[in-house]
Amino acid sequence: MKYFNSFIAVCKKEWIELKRYWFNTVVGLCMFLLMFMALFSGAKSIGQNNFSLMDSLEGFLIGYALWFLAMGAFADTAHAIIDESRKGTLEQLYMTDVPFTWLLISKNMISTIIYSIIFVVIILIQTKVTGITLNLDFISVFITLFIGLFSLYGIGLILAGLGLIFKKIQNLLGVTQFILVGIMIVSPTSLPFVRLLPFVEGREMIMDIMRNGYSLWDFSIYNWLFLLANSIFYLVVGIYGYKIAEMQVLKRGMLGQY
Amino acid sequence: MKEILQISNLEKVYSNGSFVKKAVDNISFSVNTGEIFGLLGPNGAGKTSIIKCICGLLDYEGGDVLVNGYSMKSKRRKGLKYISAVLEGNRNIYWRMTVDENLDFFSGINGMSRSSIKDRKEYLLQQFQLQEQRNQVVNKLSRGMKQKVAIAISLITNKDIVLLDEPTLGLDVAMSHEMRKLLRSVAKEEGKTILLSTHDMNVVEETCDRLVIINEGQIIAKDTVSNLKTVFNNDIYQISYIGVINNSLMSGMEKIVVKLEIKEGEDHSKMIIHLHEATELFRIFEMIKEAPIKLISIDRVTKNLEGIFLDLLKEAGTHEVF
């Protein structure tokens, strides 16, 4: 019950902040869609006589929306911790009856739900505007996203740990966004090891659902286990990396400093 | 009375490359249940480091902190069940959330449901006179109000020990006075154990039962506030006179007194004498009677905690106090 109550508290706080900063969210969304329209128009004009590119526009649409989602997911964890440290509230979160890791996981779960809703809105607008038809099986997409995004939260935790120690990591966050673009583009068919990278398996499965009309049952147990293992691996690595940073921070008394 | 908080031989060392600083040096004290205990010391004395070690927010190299018997080194989570804290002024609040939302959030993340804290929240809002501000965003409140909210948040979970780091820092005189009154009533009515760190002597003098005075990471005094005042006020007298003290009177008095200070004025002068015991005053009288000076008055000097604190720091060799 203690864990449930703390989950509800985190949930309410996220909702309050979303309501209070709705303008920022809406502007971010509009900018994202405008950029998509510009990129999509460019890609379409180039691909008018190029059958294969026209064929991959669906992939471009989904990939772009997933990139937005993934960017939010990993940066959200890092920003959240650094922001709490800056405000001075991080120390309070470390003093609660439930472990801080649980509060963080709660926040990630809520963020996933919020990002999934935004993802649905983006996809719906994109399909309307472009006229591209996709398989909109949102339940299958949500479940895959829910599992897959935890690998990115793991990366976010490592960045948060670095943020606690070095305080200013904006440049690193910027670079990571470009690395993420790479992760979203590179195909595991040509480079099989790419599947080991965070979220790549999830991305491939979502592509299959939306582009090829797959449902949850069409994936093999191997796919699910690989997705789960990938997420757990990066989350554990992330937690471990964060704990190492945390040990340093607790030793130096830097938890509340920014 | 039960010792709910025990700090024994606590040591904290900060190091960064070749820079090594012992911020807390072999500190030991204990706090009883229901007591208001003060950590008094100048800036940089190590107060915040001690508070953070007690909260489990800072690892320590030596000694231990026991909260209700649980070591904050090995059983941190169990110890935290008894502790809430307001650190560094009022930074434990979300400034963009309302007072109500803050109280709900902090009770929630401590595992409490909204219904279970309903009555306590109303009680605290009333006690801290925050009913009118309950739906206001904290950012819009005055500094004093924010501090009240911060303390109310630390009490919402109803934990036994409340740690307050500089609770009156930056408050105006009226608000500081109100805060002291509030702390006393919280300790008395709710039976909370309060450990507060401050460099404000008035706060300690008016609220604390016992205190430790810390300087450069070490304890330089540890006692009840009243004892400390009694001990340090032992037999200090101010003698006002007209005339000049000659050498024979001076050397005679120097053989009796512990300390002698002379402040010469235009119309009359003053000497402050510290005696081993009050009876020595009679011998001083005899000497003054023989000397070519006219006695105006003799007054017993009572020092407030600030005077005692400054004397102790002077003895410890600290020149920079604030």
Cβ within 8 Å of residue B286, ≥6 positions away? none
- Summarize pLDDT for B98-132 with one digit per residue, the tens: 999 999 999 999 999 888 899 999 999 988 888 99
Residue B86 near chain A (CB below 8 Å)? no
Q: Is B84 in Cβ contact with A253 (below 8 Å)?
A: no
- Checking if the pLDDT of B210 tops 50, the result is yes
Question: Radius of gyration of chain A from Cα atoms?
Answer: 19
How big is the A-B interface in CB pairs under 8 Å? 95
Map tokens 């706080």 to a residue: A13
Q: What is the ipTM of this complex?
A: 0.80
Residue B84 near chain A (CB below 8 Å)? yes
- Summarize pLDDT for A121-178 with one digit per residue, the tens: 888 888 888 888 888 888 898 899 889 888 888 888 888 888 888 877 777 777 877 7
How confident is the model over A231-240, as a mean pLDDT? 93
Nearest CA in chain A to B50: A253
How confident is the model over A41-60, as a mean pLDDT? 63
Nearest CA in chain A to B59: A251
pLDDT score, position A190: 74
- Among residues B212, B208, B204, B189, which one has the least CA distance to residue B35? B208
- Checking if the pLDDT of B249 tops 80, the result is yes
- The per-residue pLDDT of chain A, averaged, comes to 82
Higher pLDDT, B61 or B302: B61
Higher pLDDT, A51 or A119: A119
CA–CA–CA angle A222, A228, A230 (5° rounding) = 100
Higher pLDDT, A29 or B306: A29
- Checking if the pLDDT of B69 tops 80, the result is yes
Of A1, A88, A253, the CB nearest to B58: A253
Higher pLDDT, B292 or B235: B292
- Checking if the pLDDT of A54 tops 60, the result is no
Q: Is A89 in Cβ contact with B57 (below 8 Å)?
A: no
Give how far B5 is from chain A: nearest CA, Å. 17
Residue A59 near chain B (CB below 8 Å)? no
Residue A103 near chain B (CB below 8 Å)? yes
How confident is the model over A185-211, as a mean pLDDT? 84
Q: Which two tokens stand for residue B184?
A: 């006393």
Determine which of B109, B113, B149, B157 to mutate to test the interface with A (most A C-beta atoms within 10 Å).
B109
pLDDT score, position B107: 93
Q: What is the pTM of this model?
A: 0.78
Residues in A touching B10 (Cβ below 8 Å): none
- Checking if the pLDDT of B318 tops 60, the result is no
Give how far A200 is from chain B: nearest CA, Å. 33
Map tokens 């480091």 to a residue: B49
- Checking if the pLDDT of B179 tops 60, the result is yes
- The per-residue pLDDT of chain B, averaged, comes to 85
| Cβ(A58)–Cβ(A213) below 8 Å | no
Q: For chain A, which residues make up each domain, given as ranges?
A: 2-252
Nearest CA in chain B to A92: B92
How confident is the model over B13-37, as a mean pLDDT? 89
Residue A11 near chain B (CB below 8 Å)? no
A25 SS3 class = helix
How confident is the model over B213-230, as a mean pLDDT? 81
CB atoms within 10 A of CB A43: 16
What crossing angle do the helices spanning B225-232 and B305-316 adopt, rounded to 10°? Answer: 70
Residues in B touching A10 (Cβ below 8 Å): 108-109
Give how far B113 is from chain A: nearest CA, Å. 6
Query: Which stretch of B53-57, B147-151, B215-219, B231-235 has the lowest confidence by average pLDDT?
Result: B231-235
pLDDT score, position B215: 85
Residues in B touching A17 (Cβ below 8 Å): 96
How confident is the model over B175-185, as a mean pLDDT? 85
pLDDT score, position A7: 93
Q: How many angstroms separate the CA atoms of B132 and B98, rounded?
A: 12
Please report, rounded to a whole number, the percentage of residues in chain B having pLDDT higher than 90. 27
- Domains observed in chain B: 3-230 (3.40.50.300), 234-303 (3.30.70.260)
pLDDT score, position B321: 41
Give how far B316 is from chain A: nearest CA, Å. 27
Higher pLDDT, A166 or B39: B39
Give how far A191 is from chain B: nearest CA, Å. 44
Q: Give the pLDDT band (50/70/90) at residue A51.
A: very low
Residue A10 near chain B (CB below 8 Å)? yes
pLDDT score, position A257: 61
Query: Which stretch of A213-217, B189-193, B286-290 has the lowest confidence by average pLDDT?
Result: B286-290
How confident is the model over A228-256, as a mean pLDDT? 89
CA–CA–CA angle A249, A251, A255 (5° rounding) = 35
How confident is the model over B209-231, as a mean pLDDT? 82
Of A9, A92, A252, the CB nearest to B104: A9
- Checking if the pLDDT of B149 tops 80, the result is yes
pLDDT score, position A52: 47
pLDDT score, position A47: 57
Q: How many angstroms separate the CA atoms of B90 and B175, rounded?
A: 14
